[in-house]
Amino acid sequence: MGDDSVVPRQRATIAERISAQGLSGEPLRDVAAVPGLLLAVQGQDPRGARLAVRARSEGLSAADVDHAFTEERSVLITWLNRGTLHLVRREDYPLLQSLTTPPLFTGNARRLRQEGVSEAAAERALGLIELWLADEGPLSGPELRERLTSADVPTAGQAFIHLMFLAALRGLVVRGPMQGKQHAYALVEDWLGPQRPPERDAALAELARRYLAGHGPADERDLARWAGLPLRDARAGLGAIADELVQRPDGLVDLAGRERSTALPLRPAAARLDLARGDRRPAQAARHQQRHLPTVRPGRRACRRDLGLRRRQGNDRATRQGDEEGRGGAGG
């Protein structure tokens, strides 16, 4: 016979994670507060980052998101965790860029070769991109693609998006201001100012602390999977803040001294998000006991992952995202 307490425990864990992610309780009222809470919000879908803001806030519009990107410069989108586009606060960019991008270079180099872009051509492309952005300011993806093509740099297929991926991994560019419906690329130094990478051990500790603040309770595997880091780095980060943590009976850890709501349902805007990830049984069991648990919508991978219900991740996210230029929106 099964343990009758398993489903209630799983349901409580899901509810705690919902609360940690700002999907229940008091809504946020500032665009930057959303990635401030979550540290990084998936933004590879053109509407994904805006949906994440909407689900956790009240009184904010699409215009407010555009204003945060373009006028305040308080948020940006770039390739970080696991090679996917993420919405982050400008002050959190150095932390995530320094920690999560190094594992992505090998895959990027392989994909560029597959797309017919030599190492020399890639370096020339990055030099041209830097020159154009420094001279003229932010430019959209289509503008940069056209210029690179005219300069005889391979841009067909997925070549262009992987060149921009490399520029982002190098810390050269981010997606900064909106230009109409296009999200333009900007030089990091010009748009955000000079960047100084944090000391690695301190950065791993801060990563673990911030991850638990916005996603806990969790374990080292959850952190490693979310950040796209080796398990040893997740363990090092959690170990560095061990005196700030509480060990739970279910094997998860959380930040000590805080209360989490276990109440459902979610706010209406959040209720449309997908709560399951990979192994859907915990979410399905919880829904069986409480029928108003939000309906699962296929394709909301960001929320499946964030709620910690494990799912095997595919490889080469930049390729799977494809060339999003021209699709518009926060992630386009």
- The confidence score (pLDDT) of residue 181 equals 87
Is residue 97 a contact partner of residue 78, using CB atoms and an 8 Å limit? yes
Closest CA to 160 of 135, 141, 140: 141
Q: How high is the pLDDT of residue 270? A: 53
pLDDT tens track, the chain, 332 positions: 455 555 667 888 888 999 999 998 889 999 999 999 999 999 988 688 898 999 999 999 999 999 999 999 999 999 999 999 999 999 999 999 999 999 999 999 999 999 999 999 999 999 999 999 999 999 999 999 999 999 999 999 999 999 999 999 999 999 999 999 899 999 999 999 999 999 999 999 999 999 999 999 999 999 999 999 999 999 999 999 999 999 999 999 999 987 766 665 555 555 444 433 333 333 444 444 333 333 323 334 444 444 444 443 433 444 444 444 433 333 33
Q: Write phi, then psi, for 193 (nearest 5 degrees).
A: 95, 175
> Which pLDDT score, from 0 to 100, does residue 252 have?
96
Distance CA 318, CA 211 (A): 23
Q: Which pLDDT belongs to residue 264?
A: 58
pLDDT at site 258: 79
Q: What are phi and psi of 326, to 5 degrees?
A: 90, -5
pTM value surpassing 0.75: yes
pLDDT value at residue 308: 47
* Token reading at 176: 């900064």
Q: Is 32:75 a contact under the CB 8 Å cutoff?
A: yes
SS (H, E, C) the chain: CCCCCHHHHHHHHHHHHHHHCCCCCCCECCCCHHHHHHCCEECCCCCHHHHHHHHHECCCCHHHHHHHHHHHCCEEEEECHHHCEEEEEHHHHHHHHHHHCHHHHHHHHHHHHHCCCCHHHHHHHHHHHHHHHHHHCCECHHHHHHHHHHCCCCCCCCHHHHHHHHHHHCCCEEEEEEECCEEEEEEHHHHHCCCCCCCHHHHHHHHHHHHHHHHCCECHHHHHHHHCCCHHHHHHHHHHCHHHEEECCCCCEEECCCCCCCCCCCCCCHHHCCCCCCCCHHHHHHHHHCCCCCCCCCCCHHHHHHCCCCCCCCCCHHHHHCCCCCCCCCCC
Place of tokens 């933004």: 43
